[in-house]
Amino acid sequence: MFVRILYTIILCLAAPFLLLGLYKSKPNKPKFGSRWKEHFGITPQLNSAKSKPLWIHAVSVGESIAAIPLIKALKEQNPEQTIVVTTTTSTGAQEIQKLGGLVEHRYMPIDFSFAVKGFIRAIQPEKMLIIETELWPNTLQAVHTANIPIIVVNARLSEKSCRNYAKVQALFNQIHPNLNKVLCQSQADADRFKRLGIPQDKLDVTGSIKFDIKVSPAVIEEGKALRNDLGSKRPVWIAASTHKGEDEKILSAHKTILTSLPDALLILVPRHPERFKEVFTLCGSLGFQSVTRTSQETTTNDTQVYVGDTMGEMLKLIGAADVCFMGGSLVGDKVGGHNVLEPAILSVPVITGPSYFNFKEIVHDLESEQAIIITTESTLISSTLLLLTDSQIRKTQTSRALHYLNKNQGSLSKVLSYL
């Protein structure tokens, strides 16, 4: 109890700064408007709850995208099931809103007991599903005390995160008794949770629901149409979900690639919408002929960089490329990479930088299958050129990646069996 009280005091001191970062107005970032009150437990009741709702928490964009196949499968299984999805961020909310009437969205209350209790009173959830690993002590305690089962789905715990939790083991000891089940992406994840004290009978390995990617025929066709607009015969590579400090490295590599392939086009897609304008300005300052997706300008053979400044179109943009570099992997140990399986399902060969701890097991498996290229900043140019200029190597790599993805699918059905 003392540990949680101390934690709450620290949270009180940190909350103004956390909220400032959350609410700070940034270009292309959706605004919270009057819904900011939901973060404090002033939560509107659901519009049409036919049954006690299933509560799914997906903190931001990445978790929201991961949750979508699960949400659709749950609704197919039981169309009458009411589902409420909470996100912390407005960009996550924007992603969930694409599901239309399948779910209702609310903002997640911040980790104060009074706020979480306010949410529970308004929503009356039957069960809470946490996507990946978003474990807040006061939230879990309040939900558990209300006799609401808590299941962590698609749980992952990198070695770095495990060591960080171990530094506050006393606090983690307050967290894990509130969890009913932790469904892990891999055995390595389960082993790390066990090291932190979660009993074996609460741990199961179901695999990653990210393997159960479904891409609609419409998205595939839209990707092909975009490629025709960009130039069907020119070499095109995409740098997807890039972070601050990474774009300069990508653009430097592209400048060199242009000396070998003068008609090459780079699709550059920043991870965060508030950076769209900044990255486009950077392209111009470095002398690139650039256009943005939202400008709807016609690309010509002189266009060198196409900035993807939209949300929710990543699969379409990847589908328009010959090669995909997955961002968040050339910025030291700050980010840990993004989902390398998205290019695989679209038969686009993938390159990642050396920092990929968020997908460590998947990248290592793909590497053992010779289905991915792990590069450094100094070898990014040669790796990209190799794939852009050799269609047979591209075909072989994508075939191996698809085989790996297909043999690992089925996590969704395992998760559904637990629910």
Which pLDDT band holds residue 297 (cuts at 50, 70, 90)? confident
- The average pLDDT across 197-212 equals 92
Residue with tokens 């003068």: 262
Confidence at 3, pLDDT banded by 50, 70, 90: confident
Please state, in angstroms and rounded to a whole number, the distance separating the CA atoms of residues 58 and 134.
8
Question: CA 275 to CA 335: how far, in whole Å?
Answer: 16
CATH topology of domain 27-213+411-418: Rossmann fold (3.40.50)
**Per DSSP, what are the bridge partners of residue 305?**
266, 290
Which pairs from 94-103 meet CB under 8 Å and 24+ separation? Answer: 94/30, 94/311, 94/312, 95/61, 95/64, 95/65, 95/68, 95/311, 95/312, 96/58, 96/64, 96/67, 98/312, 99/68, 99/71, 99/72, 102/71, 102/72, 102/75, 103/56, 103/71
Closest C-alpha among 15, 222, 261 to residue 115: 15
Q: Cα–Cα distances in Å, from 79 out to 50, 75, 178?
A: 11, 5, 29
Residue 222 burial (CB count, 10 A): 17
pLDDT value at residue 419: 82
Output the six-digit token pair for 205: 């390995």
Q: Distance (Å, rounded) from C-alpha 330 to C-alpha 250?
A: 9
pLDDT-derived band at 326 (thresholds 50, 70, 90) equals very high
Q: Over the stretch 41-50, which tens digit does the pLDDT of each residue have?
A: 999 998 876 7
Average pLDDT, the chain: 92
Residue type for position 193: F
Domain ranges of the chain: 27-213+411-418, 217-407
Residue 297 designated active-site: no
Q: Could you tell me the two tokens for 394? A: 């591209």
End-to-end CA gap in the chain: 31
Q: How confident is the model at residue 234 (pLDDT cuts 50, 70, 90)?
A: very high
Residues above pLDDT 70, as percent of the chain: 99
304: Cβ contacts below 8 Å, ≥ 6 apart: 254, 258, 264, 265, 266, 288, 289, 290
**Lowest-pLDDT range, 23-27, 181-185, 211-215, 345-349?**
23-27
Selected catalytic residue, list 38, 63, 95, 104: 63
Calpha distance 158→137 (Å, rounded) = 19
pLDDT of residue 49: 67
**Residue 19 banded pLDDT, cuts 50, 70, 90:** confident
CATH number of 217-407: 3.40.50.2000
d(CA 263, CA 298): 15
Q: What is the pLDDT of residue 253?
A: 98
| Residue pLDDT, tens place only, 136-174 | 999 999 999 999 999 999 999 988 889 999 999 998 998
The confidence band for 131, taking pLDDT boundaries of 50, 70 and 90, is very high
3-state secondary structure of 155: strand
User: Same CATH fold, 217-407 and 27-213+411-418?
Assistant: yes
Taking CA 375 as the corner, what is the angle to CA 371 and CA 377, rounded to the nearest 5 degrees?
Answer: 160
- DSSP one-letter code for 408: T
Q: Measure the CA–CA gap between 97 and 100, rounded to whole angstroms.
A: 6
- With a cut of 90, say whether residue 27 has pLDDT above it: no
Q: Could you tell me the pTM of the whole model?
A: 0.75
Tokens of 66: 């991961």
Q: Write down the number of H helices and E strands in the chain.
A: 17, 14
Q: Model confidence at 28, in pLDDT bands (50, 70, 90)?
A: low
| pLDDT for position 384 | 98
The C-alpha atoms of residue 225 and residue 230 are separated, in whole angstroms, by 9
The count of other CB atoms within 10 Å of the CB of residue 17 is 9
Q: So what's the pLDDT on residue 192?
A: 96
